[in-house]
Amino acid sequence: MGRLHELFAPETVAVVGATDREGAVGRAILENLRTDFAGKVVPVNPNRDEVLGLECHSDVASAPPVDLSVIVVPPPYVIDAIRDSAEAGVENVVVITAGFSETGGEGAARERELREVAAEYDLNLVGPNSLGVMSTRAGMNATFGPENALEGSVSFMSQSGAFITAVLDWANQQEIGFRDVVSLGNKSVLDETDFVHEWGEDDGTDVVIGYLEGIDEGRAFVDAAREVSEDTPIVLVKSGRTDAGAAAASSHTGAIAGSERAYEAGLEQAGVLRASSVQELFDWARALSGLPTPESDGVAVVTNAGGPGVLTTDAVGDSRLDMASFTDETIETLSEAMPDEANVYNPIDAIGDADVERFEEALDVALADPNVGCAVVVSAPTAVLDYDDLAEAVIERSEEHDKPVVTCLMGGERTRSAEAVLRDSGIPNYFDPARAVSGLDALATYRDVSERTYDEPTAFDVDRERAREILERARDREDNRLGVEAMDLLDAYGIPIPEGEIVDDPADAHAVAESIDGDVVMKIVSPEITHKSDIGGVKVGVGDEDVYDAYEDLVARAHNYQPDATILGVQVQEMLDLEGSTETIVGMNRDPQFGPLLLFGLGGIFVEILKDTSVRVAPVGEDEAAEMVDEIKAAPLLRGARGRDPADVDAVVETIQRLSQLVTDFPSILELDVNPLVAGPEGVQAIDLRLTVDTEEL
Amino acid sequence: MGRLHELFAPETVAVVGATDREGAVGRAILENLRTDFAGKVVPVNPNRDEVLGLECHSDVASAPPVDLSVIVVPPPYVIDAIRDSAEAGVENVVVITAGFSETGGEGAARERELREVAAEYDLNLVGPNSLGVMSTRAGMNATFGPENALEGSVSFMSQSGAFITAVLDWANQQEIGFRDVVSLGNKSVLDETDFVHEWGEDDGTDVVIGYLEGIDEGRAFVDAAREVSEDTPIVLVKSGRTDAGAAAASSHTGAIAGSERAYEAGLEQAGVLRASSVQELFDWARALSGLPTPESDGVAVVTNAGGPGVLTTDAVGDSRLDMASFTDETIETLSEAMPDEANVYNPIDAIGDADVERFEEALDVALADPNVGCAVVVSAPTAVLDYDDLAEAVIERSEEHDKPVVTCLMGGERTRSAEAVLRDSGIPNYFDPARAVSGLDALATYRDVSERTYDEPTAFDVDRERAREILERARDREDNRLGVEAMDLLDAYGIPIPEGEIVDDPADAHAVAESIDGDVVMKIVSPEITHKSDIGGVKVGVGDEDVYDAYEDLVARAHNYQPDATILGVQVQEMLDLEGSTETIVGMNRDPQFGPLLLFGLGGIFVEILKDTSVRVAPVGEDEAAEMVDEIKAAPLLRGARGRDPADVDAVVETIQRLSQLVTDFPSILELDVNPLVAGPEGVQAIDLRLTVDTEEL
């Protein structure tokens, strides 16, 4: 039982601002509570003795002990009302009233005050600007929406109150039930992370679903959701996926939009199933709340209709599932049981004259097959097939074998009663085979989420102090950017860099070149000159005897190109044998919600033109770093495709982890790019570096 | 009025094999016809005088004049029954009876006979193995399915009879109407191409939809659909999209599966909108049958609910449409008309207390904006919003501005009557914003299809006879494969190849090398050795003095590698300056349904690892060839990305067209690969070639 238990299961609810004025929100809430709530409802309003026949109190202190206060007073009175409740010992508060940060200046100040009061009394506070909360645990509808929820095991949070009213009206018609429903409002105190926590501890919640427009504390949410999703599936629609949508969401909630890629990575790392539409949200929720997870990905399809059978097979092909390959025994048993014209290979086509008995037999044999993890029953209406009986048969067989079965009993009116029977047993029926398979797909995805283990980020032995000193140098820069002159930062974190030094004098350059075996590479070092090659700022294969001239030439070119550029010097570096190695990029930028977002890809066209990159929220463990490498389309190139020697992928994976540690240790690093990180059979070398430092954070 | 007009609008229909036996198909059809058909129904059965109260005739010849015969006699009597009808002057025949090619040997022979009789009498024959045909023109249900269709303007063909029964039951509940419905059965005579033609000429058909598992004559279908889709949208589900689905479809219909990529390319070239699920098929059909096409892609969203507004915006972002950018005038007008809290930028959030009047005003202003091509009205249920009135307002505004509007009035029961009102005016309502936007998306896609023009394939001046002679050489080969020795084939079709020759003697090699400026490239030529480089079968930069040794060495290596390989000789070729050029691949393989399928991509990893290729059914015109180049993700590399000189893309496009002409001229070419075709700033050069020839076709 979580900390928010009482919020959803109060014995007494006060409506502060209760009124009997027609059309008032304070009346709507009171009416909704009176209708179904099993507990006690207490109107609070200093100007009334009685509201809707209930005794009205002038303040919460003078009322009987209250577990939850729902506040609907006008904005200027909200803070006092919260304080009044808190002083009376109330721990749970829902602020319905709008007119806070969503309205700008004055409202924002009021919201800060609200947050302070909540912190002072350690309140569980929902809102402000919330439609309210519902819980079918005791029939509580503490919202001003027009409909109460039906009972069920899905707990639902939404950053849009209108979305709740729209969904409930529809869900009631579809007979989809809920456990708790929360309109998050401005999320001033309690937010998505708190409710994920709470419902993770609630035995009555089988699935958590949500509509979110933003997640304020990305990393905290990832950590909470990761833990909860081991036992309880979480399905979210996070809107603002597209550029247009993000702009609209930002205008709706006033939140600064984090990047879609950060959400994509963060939600995946959190084990959240991310739905892209309302339909998908509920299709998945229905499957996840009623069915066991499949032990394997093999799907059996049983049908009386060839065409719909093929459509279902296509949908399986589109999904992460496979068509199960039946054992010889299954084929044999089916051949005996089915008519000659039937197809006993998967999809099983029991043909048009199949009755319930034949369907049941085929399903029974298929579910008994060890290669079958789940099944779809697909039927077209025929004169010999009774849908109600078929529904019963499907329920029995699916329970007997304890494998998830979804149905696609196609048709209109005639499917109604069968659908209701199936629903009562947790089996969703869909008209479209693609949606039926999508339900199973969600189950299999969730199975993998629940079985997932996460490597703890490795704590490498690094020289943190040296790194800090190097970052401090950014203070001296006007634009807070560091470049190749900060390569030692990587060295401090154990990332291999070529031998060499940055010097500001041709004689020193010569000395460094002499200390290095063979020819050297020389590069101009200037924060203003980012594309060195373009201005001839790089010289490759310089012999010791040419170092003087090369130095002067590099400096001259840089002055020529950009007279006001700060020239920090020239880098003299050992020349690497890059034959047979591959250029990669490892980068990071800091997302406003999720924090450091790591990026990996191959260099050049792969990142710039093909956009073939992978991202993760840092810190990452070894497995996540390895996934980043495997995930890019061009990964086979690193693994030795087309006759190349495989690169040392382990070294790449370790570099990603070390960078993860660096950017986690130093919140002052806003952006960082190691480009290229050259990966060859013998290991990796970071060749160039750019980073931006927030000197305030140092 | 097409050739099949009478099939759908007969005055008299004979049911050959009519019976009153309970459960018999011959009874079901007669009953279905009797129920709604406005014309005359004539039972035919030599063993009955009367069936279900109707006078029964012993054969069609003795019946009154018949326009359509529906044949349900047992398989052995079908041929005679067809002949009997034909002799009596009947031109339209539907064969319901199964037991033809779908059952193998004997049935296949019977189907050949059926085809012969149909050809002899020039019959319009549907089936065999068909559920029948329906037409709401005169209430005709000549099927044995349980439901007749409602009246509408969508004509529907299906290769699965069960799919029709499943869809009709559902469509009747959804009040979706149809014009004609055909169960294609085995498509022995009439197939999808015939019906596309027919419905293209039928004024009563606004949209053609279909469920197909295969298209027998791909190119003929492309040509027919291209013409029809100028005026009438065609939406198809072609199942067997995935490998698993293709196997299932092939087992269901017995058809040899063509490649999915051929279908993908062919249907796109045909102007067909390809739906991937049943839901999408009908979502699109509903939009296309009732709404005008939008003149531009700008979408306005009008809502009373922030969250659903953002979801809709995301859906627009996912689609080919854009959120319209409002003019200053629109913003100004909206600002005056809407409350302060409203958002007057797109999506327009008229906020929660919006009544119908405010919705209507916002929609009116938005639709008047020249940047708006279409609109979505999205609403959550509230106390102040009447859905029925909103429906009326939406209809009026959309008709006034003649712009398509779809709605997403969210909710359950309360949306029912509004939905019906909208439906009567052709406006589809969806619960999910994503589906509403998908409907508009289909309209915009269809607008582009209908406006599309196609370049005729250019007939280049080529040396066809020389090409034929080169292909003839394949006769002498055991495996019908030709390689680099057939490069002159390309030359004959005007595709540039490097200067050079294949010789079988070191002295000749020397002579050729001397005749070429500079060093040469030498390659072993053997049909069995396909990866020449791997065995050291290629020498680059050979000077005249080294040609002898190089020749002997190449031959020795080839013998070493594969002692029994046929060595055709050594190719001595000018050395091209490939600096700054890009390797591309142009290939072709012949699809069983669509014929020659052209492929284009960049060489090496782009094709092999990244699978970055484009395909088209040949012959292609200049525009389609150009699309092939533009469509690949790596296209920017050819166009001069990352500081490279742009390649001569026109020369690439011309090469694709010339190859298209070659493979169209010679059906004997089964497969062909020009790999690489090197594209540089100065033009292209084909460097290597492989092809397989069907010597029977020569």
Tally Cβ neighbours within 10 Å of residue B664. 18
Q: Which of A159, A166, A310 sits opposite B249 (nearest CB)?
A: A310
* Residue B98 at interface with chain A, using a CB cutoff of 8 Å: no
Tally Cβ neighbours within 10 Å of residue A23. 8
- What average pLDDT score do residues A599-614 get? 87
Answer for the pair B90, B65: CB distance below 8 angstroms, yes or no: no
Answer for the pair A206, A292: CB distance below 8 angstroms, yes or no: no
* Phi, then psi, of B634 in degrees rounded to 5: -85, 10
Q: What is residue A105's predicted lDDT score, i.e. its pLDDT?
A: 81
Residues 6+ apart with CB under 8 A from B626: B649, B653
* Residue A681 at interface with chain B, using a CB cutoff of 8 Å: no
Q: For A152-188, how does the pLDDT look when each residue is reduced to its tens digit (9 = 90+)?
A: 999 999 999 999 999 999 999 989 999 999 999 999 9
pTM recorded for the entire structure: 0.92
- What average pLDDT score do residues A496-515 get? 91
Least confident of A33-42, A524-533, B500-509: A524-533
Say how far apart CA A437 and CA A202 lie, in whole Å: 29
* Phi, then psi, of A596 in degrees rounded to 5: -65, 125
| Contact list, B536 vs chain A (CB under 8 Å) | none
| Contact list, B304 vs chain A (CB under 8 Å) | 162
pLDDT band at A695 (very low <50, low <70, confident <90, very high): confident
Say how far apart CA B236 and CA A105 lie, in whole Å: 54
| Contact list, B610 vs chain A (CB under 8 Å) | 610, 612, 633-634
Q: What is residue B614's predicted lDDT score, i.e. its pLDDT?
A: 94
pLDDT at A189 over 80: yes
Which pairs with CB-CB distance under 8 Å and at least 24 residues apart come from B558-562? Answer: B558/B524, B558/B526, B558/B529, B561/B529, B561/B535, B561/B537, B562/B526, B562/B528, B562/B529
Residues of chain B with pLDDT below 50 are none
pLDDT at A520 over 80: yes
* Residue A605 at interface with chain B, using a CB cutoff of 8 Å: yes
Asked if A310's CB is within 8 angstroms of B380's CB, the reply is no
Q: For B398-408, how does the pLDDT look when each residue is reduced to its tens digit (9 = 90+)?
A: 999 999 999 99
Top residue of A102, A310, A611 to mutate, by most chain B CBs within 10 Å, is A310
pLDDT at A331 over 80: yes
> What ipTM was reported for this prediction?
0.91
- What average pLDDT score do residues A284-302 get? 96
pLDDT at A534 over 80: no
Pairing of strands B569-574, A54-55: unpaired
For residue B370 the two structure tokens come to: 């020249």
Asked if B316's CB is within 8 angstroms of A244's CB, the reply is yes
The minimum CA-CA distance between B516 and chain A, rounded to whole Å, is: 32
| Contact list, B636 vs chain A (CB under 8 Å) | 609
* Phi, then psi, of A532 in degrees rounded to 5: -60, -45
The minimum CA-CA distance between B545 and chain A, rounded to whole Å, is: 31
| Contact list, A380 vs chain B (CB under 8 Å) | 162-163, 165-166
Answer for the pair B659, B674: CB distance below 8 angstroms, yes or no: yes
> How far from chain centre, in Å, is Cα A658?
24
| Contact list, B213 vs chain A (CB under 8 Å) | 307, 310
CA-nearest of A696, A630, A684 to A658 is A684
Write the DSSP assignment of A218-251 as a string of letters.
HHHHHHHHHHHTTTS-EEEEE---SHHHHHHHHH
The minimum CA-CA distance between B162 and chain A, rounded to whole Å, is: 5
Least confident of A84-98, A108-122, A233-247: A233-247
pLDDT at A115 over 80: yes
Query: What is the three-class DSSP state of B102?
Result: helix
CA-nearest of A125, A145, A176, A119 to A419 is A176
Pairing of strands B92-95, B124-126: parallel
For residue B319 the two structure tokens come to: 């689609």
Say how far apart CA A663 and CA A671 lie, in whole Å: 9
Least confident of A7-11, A303-307, A427-431, B636-640: B636-640
DSSP state of B57: B
- What average pLDDT score do residues A689-694 get? 92
Interface of A with B in 429-468 (CB under 8 A): 431-435
Pairs across A and B, CB distance < 8 A: 275
Tally Cβ neighbours within 10 Å of residue A451. 9
- What average pLDDT score do residues A670-689 get? 93
Interface of B with A in 163-202 (CB under 8 A): 163, 165-167, 169-174
Q: What is residue B253's predicted lDDT score, i.e. its pLDDT?
A: 58
The minimum CA-CA distance between A93 and chain B, rounded to whole Å, is: 23
| Contact list, A239 vs chain B (CB under 8 Å) | 307, 310-311, 313-314
Q: What is residue B25's predicted lDDT score, i.e. its pLDDT?
A: 93
For residue B667 the two structure tokens come to: 């059906």
SS (H, E, C) A604-636: CHHHHCCCCEEEEECCCCHHHHHHHHHHCCCHH
pLDDT at A653 over 80: yes
CA-nearest of A69, A62, A63 to A85 is A69
Asked if B432's CB is within 8 angstroms of A279's CB, the reply is yes
| Contact list, B609 vs chain A (CB under 8 Å) | 633-634, 636-637, 641-642
Q: Which of A162, A253, A307 sits opposite B158 (nearest CB)?
A: A307
Top residue of B100, B187, B284, B314 to mutate, by most chain A CBs within 10 Å, is B314
Give the CA distances from residue A462 to residues A621, B104, B303, B514, in Å, rounded to whole numbers and listed in that order: 16, 73, 55, 64
Number of residues assigned to chain A: 698
The minimum CA-CA distance between A323 and chain B, rounded to whole Å, is: 7
Residues 6+ apart with CB under 8 A from A221: A192, A193, A196, A215, A266, A270
CA-nearest of B33, B63, B68, B23 to B46 is B63
pLDDT at A517 over 70: yes
CA dihedral for A156, A159, A165, A166, sign (positive or negative): negative
Give the CA distances from residue A366 to residues A326, A396, B252, in Å, rounded to whole numbers and listed in that order: 8, 14, 19
Asked if B341's CB is within 8 angstroms of A316's CB, the reply is no
CB-count burial class (<10 Å; 0-12, 13-18, 19+) for B517? exposed
Q: What is residue B232's predicted lDDT score, i.e. its pLDDT?
A: 97
β-partners of residue A298 are A322
Query: What is the three-class DSSP state of B485?
Result: helix
Where is pLDDT greater, at B103 or A25? A25
Tally Cβ neighbours within 10 Å of residue A173. 16
Q: What is residue B363's predicted lDDT score, i.e. its pLDDT?
A: 98
* Phi, then psi, of A352 in degrees rounded to 5: -55, -25
For residue A80 the two structure tokens come to: 């006092």
Q: For A268-280, how does the pLDDT look when each residue is reduced to its tens digit (9 = 90+)?
A: 999 999 999 999 9
* Residue A325 at interface with chain B, using a CB cutoff of 8 Å: no
Interface of B with A in 619-678 (CB under 8 A): 633-634, 636-637, 641-642
pLDDT at A193 over 60: yes
Number of residues assigned to chain B: 698
Say how far apart CA B629 and CA B639 lie, in whole Å: 10
